[in-house]
Chain A
Amino acid sequence: MTDIVTGKAQGDFDPSSAGMTPYSAAMTPEEKQYPLDPAVRDAEVYRDPGRFRSEMDKILFEAWFPVHPSADIAEPKDYVVWEQMGQSVVITRLADSSVTAWHNVCQHRGARLVDGSGNCRIGKFKCPWHGFVYNLEGEVTSVPLREAFDERELTGLRTPKVRVEEWGGWIWLSFADRIPALRQYLGTIGDELDGYNLESFTTIYRAGVRLKANWKIVMDAFNETWHVPFTHRNTLTGIVMWRHAVLKIAEPHTWMTIPIRGFTERVGQHEDHRKSHLCHYLVFPNTIFSCFPTHLQMWSAWPISPDETQLCAYEVVGPPPPGQSAEKWAAHNERDWQHFQDVLTEDSEVINDFARVINSRGYTRNMFSTAESRLTSFHQQVDKMLR
């Protein structure tokens, strides 16, 4: 039985009625404890072409990022070409099951060597232009009309290697020689993701969308929950307790735990938050793992130009939870992916509208509230790396 009082009839009901406990929507304990002070960012950080080039050189090309599920090249001689940020990289599985990666560029005159993906049965890639031949490791094994070249240029010739590691069911690349190995780079986030046993997960859906906004606008859009009641009123408010997000800084990365409506209350405040909460991790600079206890969505934002970004998203699922049939689990995952795409569409509409205002003379700065501490931390890290 519910007794309803509207604002028009407030005289009928004293909200301070003795003996009643109010469910108050005032600030939650989490909201009062956001980790960083309010901050301001100049809008130029999103539109300066010179800054964009510096970000590519000093941030994107100085990072690790996941590029393909390991299962995409499961067997020896399997290969896949990855292309983002103006780079083209061939990733291959060798006979000993290790993975190698190298720039997809012929060392003769710069032609693109390999296309698509598949199994390279003969273990050799031939340049479509003049027939230079490369093995699975990117080494030149044959040069047509070899005697017509300067032999000193051909000795040990190969396409430049790209750093590659395989971890958590993903193949990770880095274009940087000096940054730490992947697991050290990930730090706390690696410890967190380790708890999901991601090697047992499977990527079942993937999608890409080209967004008309700077890559940092895209990253900003996914690292706070305060847009949920506005942008995702009909999709996410029913799922996440967006006002109870606990924000954490793990430089250069950040993360947050968010109670899942209904589920977290039901299973209780588990000592392992990964079993009771949605855990949302930013792997700096451009990748997010949004992990439910049994499945996750992962997405990366790949800069194209100062005002364009390619977003690649994946649905990655664990084995069926105890007591759930494979059919029901598959149906759940299909619904979940559809729901995620609906959410992504809502975000994309807001992000794409930036194209209409990014150069507005009325847009001079961003204000970040304490609730947007992860954005403040992200931009502090970007500034630090540009120095």
Chain B
Amino acid sequence: MAKVHVERSTCEGYGNCVSACPGIFDLDDEGLVVLDADAAESASLDDLTRAAYDCPTSSITVFE
């Protein structure tokens, strides 16, 4: 089981996580990352780690 930590205080809203995992990560009205916990239930570890990899501000950490 994986855990995901999203650090909104460093998020700059680039949206790479949205490209990597559409429907799991999204940007809110402030342009900052939010997670859809229900959709994430079916996310693969590969997709989640890719979202973390492509985040230019290293605001996503996946724990496995």
Contacts and interface: CB of A to CB of B under 8 A. Distances in A.
Nearest to B5: A15
A12 to B, nearest CB: 10
Interface string B4-34: 1111110100111001100000000000011
Nearest to B63: A20
Interface stretch (A23-31, A44-52, A55-63, A152-160): A23-31
Contacts of B50: 237-238, 261
B63 A237 contact: no
Contacts of A237: 16, 19-20, 50, 54
Contacts of B2: 2-3
Contact of A7 (B9, B45, B48, B63): B9
B39 to A, nearest CB: 9
Contact of B56 (A8, A20, A229, A241): A229
Interface in A14-49: 15, 17, 20-26
Contacts of B43: 2
A3 B38 CA distance: 10
A5 interface: yes
Contact of A15 (B19, B56, B63): B63
Interface in A185-238: 229-230, 233-234, 237-238
Given A23-B61, A237-B16, A237-B20, A13 B52 contact: no
Interface residues of A, number: 28
A4 B35 contact: yes
A2 B53 contact: no
A7 B62 contact: no
B58 A17 contact: no
Contact of B64 (A6, A23, A241): A23
Interface of B: 1-9, 11, 14-16, 19-20, 33-35, 37, 40-41, 43, 45, 48-50, 52-56, 58, 60-64
Interface of A: 1-8, 10, 13, 15, 17, 20-26, 229-230, 233-234, 237-238, 241, 243, 261
18 contacts: A2-B1, A2-B4, A2-B41, A4-B3, A6-B6, A8-B8, A8-B34, A13-B5, A23-B52, A23-B64, A25-B55, A25-B58, A229-B14, A229-B55, A230-B56, A237-B20, A243-B53, A261-B50
